[in-house]
Chain A
């Protein structure tokens, strides 16, 4: 068994106690300390009370997932301790707020419990109650042997970005210092953290999937984003709205999701690259517009960040339950593409790709994320923009249009993609149409078997060329193993993280779950001995999709659908059971 050297820090308490900021600052300090981190938060759908946790996994190697097992816990409430108890590593350190936590499980022998009277510590030092999280950061810095200056720099940076006053920044820096001194002198803490940071090799950044989608859309020169807020997609709207002026992007919080998608289609018709974003419940309203995008061949990027459904489901939790829905929803047959990034890095590159594919194929393209990807922070290599290109597909210039005698927007081209003109251009007038239409776009009135048939075939002809432009299924790990895991989207991180401890297993990752690249998949699967399809849903939606197109059955499935993503530990356990 290989050793995986990752430490996991966790903080839990009520909503409003600043756990999210604490975790973020800790994760950012890792970045500035040349370490890797992965940050994830779990929270209920409420603003105060409840149980909010933030968890950071830290290593000197890239961290692909949040770990379940906790090394350092800060419990700010009784429920926080109770819920985390079972996940403590054998020799974990548990700091608990002695004013709030009254019951400690003495049976956990090896675990060291350290009472903290945060209230008193704050009072003695004249620190405001809402800065307790900075005290905790100060204490934590000792555990990780952080340079306190870097930590203070991160809090300064974060508060500065959020337009906080110099006074507030200074007070927080002071709270960090006091926490640090308290940990050294009173608690006699020393770092148990035997991870040494590597020298900085390339420039790295830390960000969430949603931030990456936003950045990808800006890079892609997306000119229009319309959305109706819905967790976990909302932060894309927030980020883009904040930067709208700078990016010259029209960002619209529309009256509902129906309007959001129709506006985006209108903007696309008018010539802008456009995008809309939501979660499954909001997409249900957009499904009508999806059909219009398909029939009118208006390029469109749709972000769906999944949360557990059906109906309102679980707003702040995660699942991969919408794949089949997005692949199949629609009345009538029409092509579409689903790209499923696995983390922040892929979220950026796939967003750039999604805009290109939408333009090249003039069809709707989904970016399918989930709450885990959308909201977890990951340290990744800075984006390599050198080889990225913007491809707007077949858009006619005024010069080209002027030379065309009888322009037909929906002409029967061989590859199914016909050149577009844009409203305002001379000599390019056409009717975009959600009704079945002839080559000009005029509605087919009455029966015309040939025209209808040809337009259907034209739209579907696009599929013949698509697989060459989609990211290919990829094998991770050794090529010959007795067990192969298969997955998509956010399954990749936990599996790769688990594989750092496993020898006898490999993993096939499917970045574009629709349309599936049959040949590449068959090629990868033909040498496998035993496969398990791992999915964060009840039925095994990808496994079913693969069964539809491949001459294979996927009987062994490992599914999780409790609202949480997979943890590496669960994958390790699964694989061990198989041997």
Chain B
């Protein structure tokens, strides 16, 4: 096992104190360590946004690319050098808005990369506009009357496009999340992990408490090989929100 310290730089983060992105990073570093990956064997591609700003925190080969272009940048690196472990980090704005076309393509192409999305249902870095996953009615700076569109379900999109590994995690469930990451990295093909990541500064509705009351883990016997069941399950949202590997 490689020590967790080896995967982090001494840089300071630009996140708000207590940001749930810290938990995601902790889970990922733990996965690296438990998989005993060497830092120089890991190539991470970062989007633009709060999530992507973790680029300075990881002591691995990194590429801080353009907003929405994490997937093609990561795919290019993986296709060029199959030996690399390639991981993309993006926000919901980048992954499901600006770059949705790339997500669909990666899912249907089954490129062997892992995409981790910090889904806070907002454009956080740009101070809180609506994102593609914001639910109908959500009032934000760009939608003062409330979002008048249907919120996207990214897992449904990935499943229908043919993705071979589709999971949802919750940022603060670090151990559970880390387990998902490990399986995703080991999965030979495209894997999407949508991580529910409450923005503690801008989101007054989907708070930590809100999520903690609702999330529950899929049980061990969940049939991960059944795409149709997964398609139904990922739509469960409301009083109860399942997390885990759906497919």
**Chain A contact residues, CB within 8 Å of chain B:** 223-224, 226, 250, 252, 254-256, 258-260, 262-272, 274, 288-289, 291-292, 296, 423-435, 441-443, 445
B65: contacting residue among A262, A423, A445, CB under 8 A: A262
A265-B76, A434-B48 are known; give 6 further A-B pairs, CB within 8 A. Answer: A263-B79, A266-B45, A272-B81, A274-B80, A428-B40, A443-B56
A423: contacting residue among B55, B72, B81, CB under 8 A: B81
Q: In chain B, what residue has the closest Cβ to A266? A: B76
B61 interface contact, C-beta 8 A: yes
B83 interface contact, C-beta 8 A: yes
Answer whether A423 and B76 are a contact pair too, CB < 8 Å, given A258-B69, A259-B101. no
Q: How far is the CA of A254 from the CA of B74 in the complex (A)?
A: 13
Answer whether A289 and B66 are a contact pair too, CB < 8 Å, given A255-B105, A270-B81, A424-B84. yes
| Contact in complex: A259, B105 (CB < 8 Å) | yes
Which residues of B lie under 8 Å from residue A442 when comparing CB positions?
A: 9, 11, 56
Q: How far is the CA of A266 from the CA of B84 in the complex (A)?
A: 12
Answer whether A265 and B55 are a contact pair too, CB < 8 Å, given A255-B105, A433-B64. no
Cβ of B73 to closest chain A Cβ, rounded Å: 4
B80: contacting residue among A272, A291, A426, A429, CB under 8 A: A272
Q: In chain B, what residue has the closest Cβ to A250? A: B79
Answer whether A265 and B73 are a contact pair too, CB < 8 Å, given A256-B101, A431-B55. yes
| Contact in complex: A266, B72 (CB < 8 Å) | yes
Which residues of A lie under 8 Å from residue B73 when comparing CB positions?
A: 262-263, 265-266, 269
| Contact in complex: A224, B64 (CB < 8 Å) | no
Which residues of B lie under 8 Å from residue A223 when comparing CB positions?
A: 80
B63 interface contact, C-beta 8 A: yes
Cβ of B7 to closest chain A Cβ, rounded Å: 10
Q: How far is the CA of A93 from the CA of B39 in the complex (A)?
A: 74
| Contact in complex: A266, B75 (CB < 8 Å) | yes
B76: contacting residue among A274, A430, A434, CB under 8 A: A274
- Can you name 22 A-B pairs with beta carbons within 8 Å? A224-B80, A254-B105, A258-B69, A262-B72, A262-B73, A265-B65, A266-B45, A266-B76, A266-B78, A268-B80, A269-B76, A291-B66, A292-B65, A292-B66, A296-B63, A424-B40, A424-B81, A431-B56, A432-B62, A433-B64, A435-B64, A442-B11
Q: In chain A, what residue has the closest Cβ to B14? A: A445
Which residues of A lie under 8 Å from residue B9 when comparing CB positions?
A: 442
Which residues of A lie under 8 Å from residue B2 when comparing CB positions?
A: none
Main SS of chain A's interface residues? mixed
| Contact in complex: A262, B66 (CB < 8 Å) | yes
Which residues of B lie under 8 Å from residue A424 when comparing CB positions?
A: 40-41, 43, 61, 81, 83-84
Cβ of B17 to closest chain A Cβ, rounded Å: 16
B207 interface contact, C-beta 8 A: no
A224: contacting residue among B59, B69, B79, B104, CB under 8 A: B79
Which residues of A lie under 8 Å from residue B45 when comparing CB positions?
A: 266
Which residues of B lie under 8 Å from residue A224 when comparing CB positions?
A: 76, 79-80
| Contact in complex: A259, B83 (CB < 8 Å) | no
Q: How far is the CA of A425 from the CA of B38 in the complex (A)?
A: 11
Cβ of B209 to closest chain A Cβ, rounded Å: 31
| Contact in complex: A429, B61 (CB < 8 Å) | yes
Cβ of A321 to closest chain B Cβ, rounded Å: 27
B102 interface contact, C-beta 8 A: yes
Which residues of A lie under 8 Å from residue B14 when comparing CB positions?
A: 445
Q: In chain B, what residue has the closest Cβ to A401? A: B40
B59: contacting residue among A259, A260, A265, A429, CB under 8 A: A429
B231 interface contact, C-beta 8 A: no
Q: How far is the CA of A427 from the CA of B40 in the complex (A)?
A: 7
B53 interface contact, C-beta 8 A: yes
Q: How far is the CA of A197 from the CA of B63 in the complex (A)?
A: 58
Which residues of B lie under 8 Å from residue A292 when comparing CB positions?
A: 65-66, 69
Q: Which of B80-96 contact A (CB under 8 A)?
A: 80-81, 83-84
Q: How far is the CA of A425 from the CA of B81 in the complex (A)?
A: 12
Q: In chain B, what residue has the closest Cβ to A272? A: B80
Residue of A262, A289, A424 with highest tally of chain B CB at under 10 A: A262
Which residues of B lie under 8 Å from residue A262 when comparing CB positions?
A: 65-66, 69, 72-73, 76
Q: How far is the CA of A442 from the CA of B104 in the complex (A)?
A: 30
| Contact in complex: A266, B62 (CB < 8 Å) | no
Residue of B14, B77, B80 with highest tally of chain A CB at under 10 A: B80
Which residues of A lie under 8 Å from residue B48 when comparing CB positions?
A: 434
Q: How far is the CA of A448 from the CA of B69 in the complex (A)?
A: 27
Q: In chain B, what residue has the closest Cβ to A432? A: B63
Which residues of A lie under 8 Å from residue B79 when comparing CB positions?
A: 224, 250, 252, 263, 267
Q: In chain B, what residue has the closest Cβ to A288? A: B66
Which residues of B lie under 8 Å from residue A267 when comparing CB positions?
A: 76-77, 79-80
Q: Which of B35-61 contact A (CB under 8 A)?
A: 39-41, 43, 45, 48, 53, 55-56, 59-61
